[in-house]
Amino acid sequence: MNLLEVNHLSRRYGDFIAVDDISFSLQAGELLALIGPNGAGKSTTFNMIGGQLPVTSGSILLDGESIVDLPARRIWKKGVGRTFQIAATFNSFTVLQNIQNALLSYRRRTFCIWQAADRLYRQDACALLEQVGMLAQADRPCSELAYGDIKRVELAMALASEPRLLLMDEPTAGMAPGERQALMALTRDIAQARNTGVLFTEHSMDVVFGFADRILVLARGQLIAQGTAQAIRDDPKVRQVYFGTGPSLQGDSDSNAPQPFSPGQRACTGATQS
């Protein structure tokens, strides 16, 4: 059974169709990239799966069970995690305390004073920090962290809820190329170790083609292609969206021909959105 199955999912805003009848599936342990120009409907798709946004029509099944129209917290409890938007309080805690907070929030323990919370889940929190390579910085205030390290803490916070499916909307935004590769390599290793499915959006084609098991391409709300990196590279519709080049380039084995998605290229910049 597929971990995630999305069938004929749509989202309208009035007459405007932000997500238009898309269907795809995702297996446990798989890294699936959702790419497309700005405004293509990627975040809208994420928000419907995570329950932050009601769907207009269609179905979303997690391990065969419908999660459409459930409150976001229920969906989260059922195993759909996402990298946290940094909370306002994030900087006022240490790395370790933030992970403990995430564990507390998921396990819904209440606490009265920090001293008690301080001991709570300390071992589990340390184990999570070890997984993301941040244990040595456990006691540092998050306000002092480098950007790439903050992203690793965010990943550990998302893992605190033991997600079966992890949604990562632009996890590497603002990161340097080397840091992006490192974060996605870490994400892939963790996903494989935990058999977690990961759906992510990403602008760097290096990252997408380097790490995604499969790729979905959205354009103006429609899923225009899905498949392996090679299939996506060669897909005429994808080339059209990103480069304005037609199907004639498909199958062109001439090494002098324009190569789509060259290193460092950003997937969001090549297309126009009316």
| Interacting residues toward ligand ADP by CB under 6 A | 13, 16, 18, 36, 38-44
Q: Between β-strands 16-26 and 31-35, what pairing exists: parallel, antiparallel or unpaired?
A: unpaired
The phi and psi torsions of 98 (rounded to 5 degrees) equal -65, -40
Q: Report in angstroms how near the CB of residue 99 gets to ligand ADP at its nearest.
A: 28
Q: Judged by CB, which is closer to Mg ion: 160, or 216?
A: 216
Q: Judged by CB, which is closer to ligand ADP: 23, or 192?
A: 23
Q: Judged by CB, which is closer to Mg ion: 43, or 97?
A: 43
Q: Report in angstroms how near the CB of residue 4 gets to ligand ADP at its nearest.
A: 18
Q: Which does 13 bind (CB under 5 to 8 A by kind): ligand ADP, Mg ion, none?
A: ligand ADP
Q: Report in angstroms how near the CB of residue 49 gets to Mg ion at its nearest.
A: 13
The phi and psi torsions of 252 (rounded to 5 degrees) equal -75, 115
Q: Does 47 bind Mg ion (CB under 5 A)?
A: no
Q: Judged by CB, which is closer to ligand ADP: 41, or 79?
A: 41
- Neighbouring residues of 91: CB distance < 8 A, sequence distance ≥ 6: 141, 142, 143
Q: Does 137 bind Mg ion (CB under 5 A)?
A: no
Q: Report in angstroms how near the CB of residue 84 gets to ligand ADP at its nearest.
A: 18
Task: Count the site residues for Mg ion by CB under 5 A.
Answer: 2
Q: Report in angstroms how near the CB of residue 264 gets to ligand ADP at its nearest.
A: 20
Spacing of C-alpha 256 from chain mean position: 34
Q: Judged by CB, which is closer to ligand ADP: 120, or 267?
A: 267
Question: What's 268's DSSP letter?
Answer: T
Please name every residue paired with 190 in a beta bridge, in sequence order, or none if there are none.
none
Q: Are 132 and 152 in contact (CB under 8 A)?
A: yes
Q: Does 43 bind Mg ion (CB under 5 A)?
A: yes
Q: Does 172 bind Mg ion (CB under 5 A)?
A: no
Handedness of CA 272, 244, 7, 2 (dihedral sign): negative
As a whole number of angstroms, the distance between CA 80 and CA 249 comes to 39
As a whole number of angstroms, the distance between CA 50 and CA 33 comes to 16
Q: In degrees, to the nearest 5, what angle opens at C-alpha 218 toward C-alphas 81 and 21?
A: 85
Q: Which does 187 bind (CB under 5 to 8 A by kind): Mg ion, ligand ADP, none?
A: none
